Amino acid sequence: MNESEKRNFILFVVGRMVSLIGSGIQMVAMPLFILDLTGSGTKMGLFATINMVPALIMAPFAGVIGDRFNRKKIMVLMDYLRGFIILSLAYLTYINKLNLFVLFSFQVVISLLDSFFGAATSAMIPDLVPEKDLMKANSITESISSASMIIGPVLGGVIYGFWGMQWIFILNGISFILSAISEMFIRYEKTSKLKSHVNAKIILNDLKESILFIFNNDILRNLILLAISLNFLFNPLFVVLLPYTFREIIGFSAQQYGLLETSWTVGILVGNIFLAIFFSKRNPQKLFKNGFYGMIVLNFLIAIMVFPDILAYFGNIWTIFIIVSIILIMIGITNAFVNTPISVYFQQIIPNENRSKIFSALGVIFQAATPVGMLILGILIDHVAVHWLFLAIGILLFIDIFLFSGKISQISFVLPEEE
């Protein structure tokens, strides 16, 4: 990268880092707040679903906008809007007017804004760095993002435990505004040749092109089947089952759970550092395959850990914390080996003019089953012992190995030769 490219890339990742620290603070505090307010796994699952569904619905349209308008301006505007909305939640908390209905309503709006921001940022990295540096740039971006999400959850558990939800909203709102300020200094011109206007016909035509592109690619079709299955199980487990189990059942404090939440992100950080330093030129297919199998096996270890007899054997809550944290770190490492090669592959094969809309369409398809899984798991938590839910998910993930092993072997990632 030349000096101009380095400057733009640094501003891009600094903006992400600041906003992600704030998001990490709120990410840990929110389920704890809902649990403390209601004690209901169903309501926590409902919130997780509300957080995701509007973004999924809006994502294809956001992708069309991301390809036809200046991606930098979209990023900046979405960060400012989210910052002011979250600061409004802080004010409502201060005057004691925040309830679940208000919280859920605001979250719908934030989720919609997230979809526009995500469509712009996911497509922007290849505009900022040369193709030969994509693996390294993605690894650095994910490493910095992971570092931010380590700091955020730790602070989230501590801040929520000592000062409550108001300060969580204040810090997160400020972080989005600071992120927008950083992004304003990126030197970026619209690179897509598509015209900057939209109507219903353009949107429908762009969506049709995206779907045809995706389903005419054998690798993408295989990844879609795999992602739908895994996201139906993995995402609800981490967003709904994990906080409920360790907060409500095992009895972790807000601070302990905040630290536990960072373990997964520490692993992602370590994994991406390994990718950037040691594995950027290695065979992405092997990294993907080993990471995929590793995630499933390690997840099954957590399922074993939460059985009552195993918990009673270890006894001390800090011993349980250390063991589960180590497992989560290892899962994070394997997750980096899966997600980063996939991101690079997508950035290479998808043309710039279509990148936002196709990324958005892929995101919708990949995540389509996640809200359903969150809602189902949230309801089951109130009626089934959590260790049986962990075991069931672990078994289903092992079944995935056999169902999709052939599909995984067919996936072939090809990196360009370095110039």
Q: How many helices (H) and strands (E) does the chain have?
A: 16, 0
Instruction: Give the pLDDT band (50/70/90) at residue 192.
Output: low
Question: What pLDDT is attached to residue 92?
Answer: 93
Percent of the chain at pLDDT exceeding 90: 5
Task: Give the mean pLDDT of 352-380.
Answer: 74
Q: Which of 105-114, 143-152, 363-372 ranks highest by mean pLDDT?
A: 105-114
Question: What pLDDT is attached to residue 276?
Answer: 72
Task: Report residue 33 as tokens.
Answer: 């707040």
Of 6-10, 62-66, 93-97, 322-326, which range is least confident? 62-66
Question: What pLDDT is attached to residue 85?
Answer: 92
Q: Is the pLDDT of residue 352 over 80?
A: no
* 31 or 184: which leads in pLDDT: 184
Q: Is the pLDDT of residue 413 over 70?
A: no
Distance of alpha carbon 382 from alpha carbon 41, whole angstroms: 6
* 89 or 66: which leads in pLDDT: 89
Q: Is the pLDDT of residue 188 over 70?
A: yes
Question: What pLDDT is attached to residue 208?
Answer: 76
Task: Report residue 276 as tokens.
Answer: 């950037």
* 41 or 264: which leads in pLDDT: 264
Q: Is the pLDDT of residue 419 over 50?
A: no
Task: Report residue 267 as tokens.
Answer: 């692993």
Give the pLDDT confidence of 266-310 residue by residue, as tens digits. 888 788 787 777 665 666 667 777 777 888 888 888 888 888 888
Local structure of residue 306 (DSSP, 8 states)? T
Question: What pLDDT is attached to residue 87?
Answer: 95
Q: Is the pLDDT of residue 347 over 50?
A: yes
Give the pLDDT confidence of 135-165 residue by residue, as tens digits. 677 777 777 776 776 677 667 777 887 888 8
- List, in sequence order, the alpha helices (H) in 237-369: 242-243, 254-277, 284-305, 308-314, 317-349, 355-367
Q: Is the pLDDT of residue 405 over 70?
A: no
Cβ atoms of 267 and 392 within 8 Å: the answer is: no
Question: What pLDDT is attached to residue 84?
Answer: 94
Q: Is 358 exposed, middle or buried (0-12, 13-18, 19+ CB in 10 A)?
A: buried
Q: Which pTM value belongs to this model? A: 0.61
Task: Give the mean pLDDT of 388-403.
Answer: 82
Give the CA-trace dihedral at 150, 308, 392, 30, to 10 degrees. -30
Question: What pLDDT is attached to residue 418?
Answer: 43
Task: Give the mean pLDDT of 34-61.
Answer: 75
Task: Report residue 158 as tokens.
Answer: 């501590």
Cβ atoms of 170 and 155 within 8 Å: the answer is: no
Instruction: Give the pLDDT band (50/70/90) at residue 90.
Output: very high
Distance of alpha carbon 123 from alpha carbon 59, whole angstroms: 13
Instruction: Give the pLDDT band (50/70/90) at residue 416.
Output: very low
Instruction: Give the pLDDT band (50/70/90) at residue 376.
Output: confident
Q: Is the pLDDT of residue 261 over 70?
A: yes
* 283 or 213: which leads in pLDDT: 213
Q: Is the pLDDT of residue 415 over 60?
A: no
Q: What is the mean pLDDT of the chain?
A: 78
* 154 or 113: which leads in pLDDT: 113
Q: Is the pLDDT of residue 94 over 70?
A: yes
Burial 325-351 (b: 16+ CB within 10 A, else e): bebbbbbbbbbbbbbbbbbbbbbeebe
Question: What pLDDT is attached to residue 314?
Answer: 82
